[in-house]
Amino acid sequence: MIECAKTVLTSGDLVCDEAINLETETKYDAILSNSVFSYFVDEKYALEVLERMYKK
């Protein structure tokens, strides 16, 4: 899916990676997730991802 998205969105900032590796240097007004939290290993991991999303 990311390869398909790259053909339409040419910003160059599309990434396929683990949620915990989300870089937080570049800031956005909104960040979305869809059906991923149920796959996280535990609540600690989910909290760390949420904190990174907030920083993003």
Where along the chain do its domains lie?
Answer: 17-55
The string of pLDDT tens digits covering residues 3-37 is 999 899 888 888 889 999 999 999 999 888 889 99
pTM, two decimal places: 0.77
Amino acid 32: pLDDT:
86
pLDDT at 55: 95
**14 and 4 in contact (C-beta within 8 Å)?**
no
Identity of residue 35: S
Tell me how many degrees the CA angle 12-13-15 measures, rounded to the nearest 5: 115
